[in-house]
Structure formats: structure tokens, C-alpha cells
């Protein structure tokens, strides 16, 4: 199909060897889209949302730094995949995000609104889109079903991301100085993540059990004197993953120790019952019973408990009545909070059991028994006063 004035000339990116597995994944996705277009009597698909851009390109990024501003779109038909952008961003996007992956490019001057380029390609074509746009048909619900489960290629990317996020959190917890502020600790986490090419999506640092009152607070000027919980969600190649660790200078206070162990029990139940073929709401009901068993029946009302994650930070929230069906290859982030305690980790649902994507790197561990299965869990790290 001729799209008119498409720039498919070579660039400096041609000297980068393509990843054959990534190329194969993109080809598979284009075929999925082609089949969908045929069944829906559509001629093309326009992708704008970062999650869908990253999914189709298997890790590409169409945003401008930390602003989240979208600077590119994808136009896809059965025979072509075209990157749409403005002139200041075209070379970088082509070289860094889609080099040697079979994409063509169409650009316009920076002073023109990006929507004009989108409209040009959609004009006269029966087009689907992942956002409301002119006369395009909104097919965003269908695209959500394509992003999960993850492929084997993507799960390997997620394992590597897990090691990076765990390292950033644990290394910071082992080395920051007593008396530093939550903001200073958060800055160290962000620094480590960015050095590993991971974009910080959420960083929370809670000193002295502040999570008991501020479950979703990020970080502030409070100094860490005794206890500190560090939580982080990072993104790399479009995928998200989260983890938390708790550290204490000196022997942990009784309330911190008890709350931490209770959180581990709740979280472990969630991980164990995140099973292939089980509804998310059914897994949640098992978790709710653990809250009740240990006398914390009201705690779960105070904070969300996690979500299925992936190319969207939250692909599906964990809520009591969720009918979302878990399947092998889906990452689930469980975040339990009780009083001053927090436990957050990410797992991968498998055909049988689960895989922990955030295993400890250099951290004390304890074990939680769930249905006669010992689940290794991160303990509180004790550092000298």
C-alpha cells in the first residue's frame, strides 16, 4: 500500500544490529492486528497511548522524558507499520526506538500540530484507534486484551527489570545514612534506577512508620532515625514492576516487627493464590480471610492491595469483585499494608505456581508457610545505630 511521501531512508540506526527475537515479536503482533482489521472491516489502526506503542514495538517509547507528553504515533495496516512524529524527534525515535525493526517514518515540521499528521493518514480510510480521534473507531478495549499475557521474550525483559529495581531499593537501604531525609533517600533510589536505564514511575520513602497514616505518600522532609520503608515502581522498555524493603537502625520496635510479619502473611497468600485460570476476585477473597485471621479485617480498606501490571502500570486493579481472569504470563504486583508495615513484590503467574520477579539480592529473609509451601520473604534489614 502506498502511504505517500513516507521516509524509509537509511539512518545512523542501521548500524545497530536488530534483535531477531524482538523482530519476530513485532511481526507476530502485526499479524494479530491484520487479522483483527480483517474481521472488523477496518483498513488501518492508529496507536497513540504509550502502553500500546510500547506493546506493538516491544519496548519502544513515544513519550518525551518524564513529562509523559506523546511525541509519536504508529499507523499500522496489514502491509506496513509507520512511525508518525515531528521533525525534532524523528531521528532519535527512529534510531533509538524502532531501528532495524521494519518501520517506515513520516514526519512533519515541529510547528504543526501532531494531530494534523494523524488526520492525513486516517483520511479516507476506515481506521481504528486507541483514543477518541475524529471519525476513527475506538478499539482500545480490544487492544487491552492483546497486551497480556506477556510473551517469553517480554518475561525475560521483566526478570531483568526486577533485578534492577531490587538492586536500586536494597542498595539504597543498605547505604543511606541515619538522619537523612525521606527526599534524600528517594533521590538515591532514583539515581540508581536511572543509572540502570530504568525510569522511576513511583518512589515512596516512609520514615518512622509514616505509612500507618499516609498510605500513599511519596516522600518529604522527615528524617529517618529508626525505621524506613522504601518502595519503588520502575519502567524499562515499556514494562512496569514494583518492590518494597524495610530497614531499621537497631532492634526493630515491636509494632514494626509484628506489622511486617503480618504483611508478609497477607502478601504471600496473594502470591500463592494468583493462579492460572483463577479470577482476581477469587484470589482476593483468600487474602481477605488472612487479614481477618490475624485480626486486621479493616486494614485493607485503607489502601489498595496491588494490581496486574505490564505495559500499563495498572492493567487490572485487585478489587473484591474483580472478574479479571489470571493466566500464565501475567505479572501481578501485591502490596499489603498493616499499620506501620508494608510488603510489596511482583510475581509472574505460571502454569503451576508463581515466579517471584523481585527476589532479594543481598537481604535477610524469612519464610512464610502457605498450604505447606514455604515462601521466602524479605525480612527487616537491621543496621547498627
Residues 165-211: tens digit of each pLDDT: 999 999 999 999 999 999 999 999 999 999 999 999 999 999 999 98
Average pLDDT (31-55) is: 97
Contact 209, 326 (CB under 8 A): no
Which residues contact residue 283 at a Cβ distance below 8 angstroms, ignoring those fewer than 6 apart? 270, 273, 274, 275, 318, 326
Confidence at residue 65, expressed as pLDDT on a 0 to 100 scale: 77
Instruction: Kindly list the structural domains of the chain, giving each domain's residue range(s) and its CATH number in brackets, ordered by start.
Output: 12-146 (3.40.350.10), 152-383 (3.90.230.10)
Contact 262, 296 (CB under 8 A): yes
Average pLDDT (280-293) is: 93
Which 3 state secondary structure label does DSSP give 205?
strand
Confidence at residue 1, expressed as pLDDT on a 0 to 100 scale: 39
Which residues contact residue 142 at a Cβ distance below 8 angstroms, ignoring those fewer than 6 apart? 36
Confidence at residue 16, expressed as pLDDT on a 0 to 100 scale: 55
| DSSP one-letter string for 86-142 | EHHHHHHIIIIISTTTT-EEEEE-TTS-HHHHHHHHHTTS-EEESS--TT-EE-HHH
Which 3 state secondary structure label does DSSP give 357?
coil
pLDDT of 160 above 80? yes
Q: Would you place residue 150 in the very low, low, confident or very high pLDDT band (cuts 50, 70, 90)?
A: very high
pLDDT of 340 above 90? yes
Q: What is the pTM of this model?
A: 0.93
Cα distance between residue 332 and residue 305, in whole Å: 11
Average pLDDT (105-112) is: 94
What's the pLDDT tens digit per position in 299-316?
998 999 999 999 999 999
pLDDT of 164 above 70? yes
pLDDT of 8 above 50? no
Count of C-beta atoms within a 10 Å radius of residue 121? 20
Q: Would you place residue 6 in the very low, low, confident or very high pLDDT band (cuts 50, 70, 90)?
A: very low
Q: Is the peptide bond before 149 cis (omega within 30 degrees of 0)?
A: yes
Contact 78, 39 (CB under 8 A): no
Residues of the chain with pLDDT > 70: what percent?
A: 96
What's the pLDDT tens digit per position in 360-374?
999 999 999 988 888
What's the pLDDT tens digit per position in 251-283?
999 999 999 999 999 999 999 999 999 999 999
- 12-26, 98-112, 131-145: least confidently modelled range: 12-26
Q: Would you place residue 67 in the very low, low, confident or very high pLDDT band (cuts 50, 70, 90)?
A: confident
Cα distance between residue 224 and residue 8, in whole Å: 55
pLDDT of 157 above 90? yes
Residues of the chain with pLDDT > 90: what percent?
A: 88
Amino acid at each position: 500500500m502506498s502511504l505517500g511521501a513516507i521516509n524509509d531512508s537509511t539512518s545512523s540506526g542501521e548500524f545497530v544490529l536488530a534483535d531477531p527475537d524482538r523482530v519476530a515479536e513485532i511481526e507476530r503482533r502485526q499479524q494479530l492486528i491484520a487479522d483483527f482489521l480483517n474481521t472488523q472491516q477496518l483498513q488501518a489502526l492508529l496507536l497513540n497511548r504509550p502502553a500500546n506503542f510500547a506493546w506493538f514495538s516491544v519496548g519502544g517509547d513515544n513519550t518525551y522524558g518524564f513529562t509523559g507528553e506523546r511525541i509519536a504515533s504508529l499507523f499500522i495496516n496489514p502491509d506496513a507499520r509507520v512511525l508518525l512524529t515531528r521533525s525534532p524527534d524523528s531521528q532519535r525515535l527512529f534510531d533509538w526506538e524502532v531501528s532495524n525493526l521494519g518501520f517506515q517514518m513520516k514526519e512533519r515540521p515541529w510547528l504543526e500540530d501532531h494531530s494534523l499528521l494523524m488526520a492525513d493518514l486516517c483520511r479516507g480510510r476506515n481506521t481504528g484507534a486507541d483514543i477518541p480521534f475524529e471519525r476513527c473507531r475506538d478499539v482500545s478495549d480490544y487492544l487491552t486484551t492483546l497486551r497480556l499475557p506477556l510473551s517469553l521474550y517480554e518475561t525475560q525483559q521483566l526478570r531483568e527489570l526486577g533485578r534492577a529495581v531490587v538492586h536500586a531499593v536494597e542498595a539504597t537501604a543498605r547505604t543511606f545514612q541515619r538522619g537523612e531525609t525521606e527526599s534524600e533517600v528517594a533521590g538515591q533510589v532514583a539515581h540508581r534506577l536511572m543509572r540502570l536505564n530504568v525510569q522511576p514511575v513511583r518512589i515512596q520513602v516512609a520514615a518512622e512508620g509514616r505509612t500507618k497514616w499516609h498510605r500513599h505518600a511519596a516522600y518529604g522532609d522527615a528524617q529517618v532515625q529508626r525505621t524506613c520503608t522504601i518502595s519503588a515502581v520502575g519502567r524499562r522498555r515499556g514494562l512496569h514492576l514494583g518492590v518494597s524493603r524495610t530497614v531499621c537502625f537497631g532492634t526493630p520496635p515491636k509494632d514494626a516487627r509484628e506489622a511486617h510479619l503480618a504483611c508478609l502473611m497477607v502478601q504471600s497468600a496473594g502470591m500463592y493464590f494468583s493462579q492460572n485460570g483463577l479470577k482476581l476476585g477469587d484470589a482476593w477473597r483468600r487474602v481477605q480471610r488472612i487479614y481477618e485471621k490475624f485480626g486486621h479485617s479493616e486494614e485493607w480498606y485503607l489502601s489498595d492491595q496491588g494490581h496486574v501490571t505490564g505495559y500499563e502500570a495498572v492493567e487490572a486493579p485487585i478489587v473484591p469483585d474483580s472478574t479479571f481472569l489470571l493466566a500464565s504470563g501475567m505479572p501481578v504486583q501485591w502490596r499489603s499494608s498493616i499499620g506501620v508495615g508494608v510488603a510489596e513484590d511482583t510475581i509472574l503467574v505460571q502454569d503451576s505456581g508463581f515466579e517471584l520477579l523481585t527476589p532479594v539480592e543481598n537481604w535477610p529473609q524469612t519464610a512464610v508457610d502457605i498450604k505447606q509451601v514455604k515462601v521466602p520473604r524479605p525480612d527487616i534489614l537491621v543496621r547498627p545505630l
